[in-house]
Chains A and B, each alone.
Chain A
Amino acid sequence: MSTTADLKKGLCIIFNNEPHLVLEKTFVSPGKGSAFFRTKLKNLKTGVIFEFTFKSGEKIEPVSLQTREYQFLYKQGNEFIFMNPKNFEQISLKEELLGNYRNFLKEGDVCQILTLEGEAVGIKPPLKVKLRVIESENAVKGNTVTSATKPVKVETGYIVQVPLFIKEGDFIIINTETGEYVERA
């Protein structure tokens, strides 16, 4: 039987009858109280992220997720459609379950999809993505006093703040977790 001692980032557990991914785990203990674990959980059916504090030693119910490579085909409504490149089987994932990564997916990208009993429940995003800048205004003079950055649009349509030297056509690296510019590729 698993207990909170087995809780860790990336583990999938059944919580209130639904699969949840553990995003964070912190030890907390009131001065005059016993030990607890504060977790950040993501409901894999709805994409909702919330905090829950477990009693230390409480039983938990882990389930194993499968990771498989899929290719992103297109977006339909609020669903992202992926295809298994080996057997051409298609699978869809709700926009909410992609988190920030939804802003960085290009058609044709190969990514790691998490599945639970054949159903897609999440995606394992790479830490960084490389994207081309498709729109960039020249920095407005006088604007540099308050900020040395400007907004540009990348090929997925996402708008990000970058340093002034970035030009249209440049490739830039973006952190998928924070959604922020890292460096010029």
Chain B
Amino acid sequence: MENIKNIIKLRSKIFDLVRIFFKKRGYLEVETPLLIPHPDPSYYTEVFETSKINGKRSFLSTSPEYYMKKLIPLGFQKIFQICKAFRNPKEIGPFHNPEFTILEWYRVNASYKDLFIECEQLVNFLCQEIFTKPKKNKRLKNFIKYQNILIDLNPPWLKFSLKMLFEKYADINLDEFLDFKKAKKIAQKKDYKIEKDTTCEQIFHQIFLNEIEPKLPKSKPVILFEYPAFLAEGARLKNSNPLYAERFEFYIGGLEIGNGYSELTDWREQEKRFKQSLKTRKRKKMKIFAYDKEFIEVLKSNFPPCAGMAIGLDRLIMLFVNAKKIDEVLFFPASKIF
């Protein structure tokens, strides 16, 4: 009981600290709706549908991304939000709760590489403010212990491109992998099962989860950058090499904490991706709905270059309290209340 009380207090403190961090840097805190008519059509997350509003289908938001981006053309340079997101999982696991807390921010005239630095600074700021007692050993400043591993949070973090990781740990040339036929062959050679509805994303992540993720260093946070174009999501493709997207994720102590990218601002490309995602959803027999045409209109109106980042706050809190499961940092986890 004492433990859960401490976690409730710590969550409140972390929310305060996040607000201090962003407000000091000139970010404006914004709010966007959680109940929406056009959810993100990405085919890897299923949405919760609620009852109709004004005759229109409504859904719980899986991410504040598109609504926050709609605010940018109003002239805001820097915005952030702490909100809930809902994803209907196949199963409740140790790192997933169907309702979770997202910290998301956007910055105009910035790229994914600027976000690397902001993530390093945010995590180090939180660590310093949470553990205010000076450490006896000064060299251990900004170190935390998670699941018996001592992690040095100090910048710079380790940075690996996905191309480099696939080559080093899986002996795969990711350039070749971008051709779906070749990817299937590579996976079959490694004895992975390919079925009729297997997607390129599934092959990529199965190899990543089996051969790469377990080998990522844990004594420092790790930034994985430049995902292949088929995993671009809302990210801009690299000008110098459009086979890869300006998207990254970061891991601390083996936990996937955040995802960020230079935002895609080309409306044609965005519309194409929405349509493609919906096609895949249909094939996978997932919920089908209309994509957000209003967002496409917003992109048409001189949308400035910007970068955006999302962090799973519950996971970050797990790290600071050395929790093995997400349930340990929630007062009412779905596994208990349902």
Q: Is A14 an interface residue (CB 8 A)?
A: no
Chain A residues within an 8 Å CB radius of B249: 31-32
> Is A55's CB under 8 angstroms from B91's CB?
no
Instruction: Tell me whether A53 and B209 are in contact (CB under 8 A).
Output: yes
B205 and A59 within 8 A (CB): no
Please name all residues of chain B whose beta carbon is closer than 8 Å to the beta carbon of A34 when the two chains form the complex.
43-44, 199, 201-202, 205
Stretch touching chain B among A21-29, A83-91, A95-103, A122-130: A21-29
**A33 at interface, CB cutoff 8 A:** yes
Nearest to A27 among chain B residues (CB) is B93
> Chain B 23-43 against A: per-residue CB contact (8 Å), 1 yes, 0 no?
000000000000000000011
Task: Name the contact of A32 in the complex, choosing from B94, B96, B202, B231 (C-beta under 8 A).
Answer: B231
Interface size range on A against B = 20 to 34
Does B265 count as interface, using CB distance less than 8 angstroms?
Answer: no
Q: For the complex, is A178 an interface residue (Cβ under 8 Å from B)?
A: no
Asked, given contacts A33-B44, A51-B214, whether A26 binds B209 with beta carbons under 8 Å apart, the answer is no
A53-B209, A53-B210, A59-B195 known; A32 vs B90 contact (CB < 8 Å): no
Which one of A26, A35, A51 lies within 8 Å of B90 (CB-CB)? Answer: A35
Of the candidates B191, B206, B312, which one forms a contact with A16 in the assembled complex, judged by CB atoms under 8 Å apart? B191
We find that the number of chain B residues with CB closer than 8 angstroms to chain A is 33
* Chain A hits for B91, CB < 8 A: 27, 35
- Which residue on chain B has the smallest CB distance to residue A53? B209
Q: Which of B44, B198, B208 has the most CB of A within 10 A?
A: B44
Check if A56 is an interface residue, CB within 8 A of chain B.
Answer: yes
* Binary CB contact string for chain A from 41 to 60 against chain B (1 if under 8 A, 0 otherwise): 00000000001111110110
Q: Is B256 an interface residue (CB 8 A)?
A: yes
Q: How far apart sit A32 and B195, CA to CA, in the bound complex (Å)?
A: 21
**A28, A31, A32, A52: which contacts B93 (Cβ < 8 A)?**
A28
Please indicate the chain A residues that have their CB under 8 angstroms from the CB of B96 in the complex.
27, 29
Selected contact of A29 from candidates B42, B89, B204, B310, CB within 8 Å: B89
Identify the closest chain A residue to B232 (Cβ): A32
Taking a contact as CB atoms under 8 Å apart, the answer to whether B193 and A59 are in contact is yes
A181 CB–B CB distance under 8 Å: no
Which has the most chain A C-beta neighbours within 10 Å: B43, B90, B198? B90
Which residues of A sit under 8 angstroms from B95, Cβ to Cβ?
28
CB contacts (< 8 Å) of A59 on chain B: these are 193, 195
List the A side residues contacting B202 at CB < 8 Å.
33-34, 55
**A27 lies within 8 A of B312 (CB):** no
Whether B94 and A26, one on each chain, are in contact in the complex, defined by CB atoms closer than 8 angstroms, is: yes
Nearest Cβ on chain A to B222's Cβ, whole angstroms: 14
Asked whether, in the complex, the Cβ of A31 is within 8 Å of the Cβ of B256, the reply is yes
Contact B259 A31 (CB under 8 A): yes
Docked-complex contact B233 and A32, CB < 8 angstroms: yes
Whether B92 is near chain A, meaning CB under 8 Å from some CB there, is yes
Distance in angstroms from A81 CB to nearest chain B CB is 35
User: In the complex, are the beta carbons of B205 and A33 less than 8 A apart?
Assistant: yes
Q: In whole angstroms, how far apart are the Cα atoms of A29 and B88 in the complex? A: 12
In the assembled complex, the Cα of A36 lies from the Cα of B209 at a distance in Å of: 9
3 closest cross-chain pairs (CB), A and B? A27-B93, A53-B209, A27-B91
Which A residues form the contact surface with B (CB < 8 A)?
A: 16, 26-36, 38, 51-56, 58-59
B: residues with CB less than 8 A from A are 42-44, 89-96, 191, 193, 195, 198-199, 201-202, 204-206, 208-210, 214, 227, 231, 233, 249, 256, 259, 310, 312
Q: Can you list 7 residue pairs at the A/B interface with Cβ under 8 Å?
A: A26-B94, A27-B92, A31-B312, A33-B44, A36-B209, A58-B193, A59-B193
